Amino acid sequence: MSGLVKAKNYRWKDSNLALFGSDLERQVKKESAQTEPAWEGAGSKVGVQVWRIVKFEVTHWPEEDYGSFYNGDSYIVLNTYTVDDSEDLKYDVHFWIGKDSSQDEYGTAAYKTVELDTLLDDKAVQHREVQGRESDLFKSYFEKLIILEGGAETGFRHVQPENYRPRLLRFVGSKKNIEMMEVPKHPSCLNDCDVFILDKGDVIYQMNTPDSNKDERFKALQFLQGLKSERGSVEVETLEQADTRSSHDFYESLTDEEPTDVDAPIEEIEKTLYRYTDKEFQEVKVGEFSKADLATDDVFLVYNGKNAIVWVGETASPSEKKNGIPYAHTFLNCAGNPQCPITVTKEGLKCPDLDVALCA
C-alpha cells in the first residue's frame, strides 16, 4: 500500500494500562451508572453494533456512520453471530484506537470492552484494533472502512462548504474490502494504483489513477455523490491522472509541506509462545507448538510481530482473566511494537487465528 503515511507517535502507547484499581478505573466507575445504559440490547441479536468513547462514557455511534472512524477518537465494536444454524449467540468485541486518541480514551475503551464481555457472560473474544493495523475480521464488518482526521465533532457531515477544511481521501482495496482513509495533502501521498478524492468543500475532485480498479473507482464515485447530495450546490469533477496536467487545481491545491511521521515497515518474526509468569510474559517455545503446550491454569501469548494472541486458561486467576489486554499492551510496548493488533480469547471459545497459530 505505497503512498500511505501514518503518524508513528501514538499518544496512547506510553500508557501502562494498569486500569483495574487505578485512578482511571475509579473515574470510569464514577462517570458510569451502576448499569451502563449504552449496553441495553447489546448482543441480543445477530449484527454489528458500534459505540464511541466520549469523556469516559460510552455513546451510540449512528448506524449511518458505521465503518467511519476518526483518528482522534476511540470506539467499541460488537459483532454478534451464530454458527451452523445454531441459536447460540457468539461474540467478537473490538475496541478501535485512533492514532491521536488520548490515553484516557484508550484506557476507557479497554476497560469498557472488558465490562461488555462480562455482561455477555465472558463469551466474547476480545480484540484491540489500531488505526492502520486493523484485522481482516474487523474490516469484514463494514462495506468500506473510512478513516478521517480529527474527532467526530470535526467531521464534514453537514459542514458548510465555505467553512470546510480541505481533505485528501484515498480509496484502496477490492470488492467489499474498500478502505477510505484521509492522507496528508502532499504529492508524495499520491500513487498510480488507487483512487483519490480531494474535497475542498465547494469543489470536489475524484482522481482515477491508471492502475486503480473498478471497485475503488465505484466506491469513490459513490462517496462523492453522497457528499454532493448532502451539500447541494457543489462542483464535482472526475479526473484521469494520465490526462491531468500538473497545473490543474487538483495539484495546485496540494501542500508543499512534506509529511514527517511515517511508520517503519512491519516485520514478521518467528512465531513464539510465552507464558505469563512473575508479572511478565516469558518465552516458552519458538517455531512450532500446539494446544498441548497450554495449561488451563495459566495465561499464554502467541506473538509473531504482526499479531499478538492471548489465551486465558479456564482456571486462571480472576485478575489474569480480566487483564489479558493490559498484559499484552505492556509486552508490546517493551517489544517496541505498540500498535500491533491484540486478540484475547478464553479456553473453550473458538478463535480461528489461534487455531492456525497452534498448528504444529
Q: Which CATH number fits domain 183-253: 3.90.1150.10, 3.40.20.10, 3.30.1360.120, 1.50.10.10?
A: 3.40.20.10
If we measure between CA atoms, which residue out of 291, 272, 274 comes closest to residue 327? Answer: 274
pLDDT score recorded for residue 210: 96
- Which string of b and e fits 68-78 if b means at least 16 CB within 10 Å? bbbbbbbbbbb
**CATH level 3 topology of 23-148:** Severin (3.40.20)
pTM (two decimals): 0.77
If we measure between CA atoms, which residue out of 46, 218, 50, 51 comes closest to residue 142? Answer: 50
Where are the extended beta strands (E) located within the chain?
A: 47-54, 57-60, 68-70, 74-81, 90-97, 124-130, 144-148, 167-174, 177-183, 195-199, 203-208, 235-240, 272-277, 280-286, 299-303, 308-312, 342-346
If we measure between CA atoms, which residue out of 32, 7, 27, 36 comes closest to residue 104? Answer: 27
Fold matches, 23-148 and 183-253: yes
How does residue 26 score in pLDDT terms, banded at 50, 70 and 90? very low
Q: How far apart are CA 142 and CA 94, in angstroms?
A: 13
Q: For residues 13 and 68, which has the higher predicted lDDT (pLDDT)?
A: 68
Arithmetic mean of pLDDT over the chain: 85
pLDDT score recorded for residue 6: 38
Could you tell me the residue ranges of all domains in the chain? Answer: 23-148, 183-253, 272-358
Give the three cell numbers for residue 141.
464488518
pLDDT score recorded for residue 33: 36
Is the pLDDT at 8 greater than 70, yes or no?
Answer: no
pLDDT score recorded for residue 261: 56
Is the pLDDT at 72 greater than 70, yes or no?
Answer: yes
- Is domain 272-358 in CATH 3.40.80.10, yes or no? no
- Min mean pLDDT across 30-44, 232-246, 334-348 is at 30-44
If we measure between CA atoms, which residue out of 20, 53, 59 comes closest to residue 39? Answer: 59
How does residue 262 score in pLDDT terms, banded at 50, 70 and 90? low
Note the pLDDT tens digit of each residue in 133-182: 898 899 999 988 888 887 766 554 444 545 567 889 999 988 777 888 88
Q: Over pLDDT 90: what percentage of the chain?
A: 51
Q: Residue written as cell 501502562?
A: 16
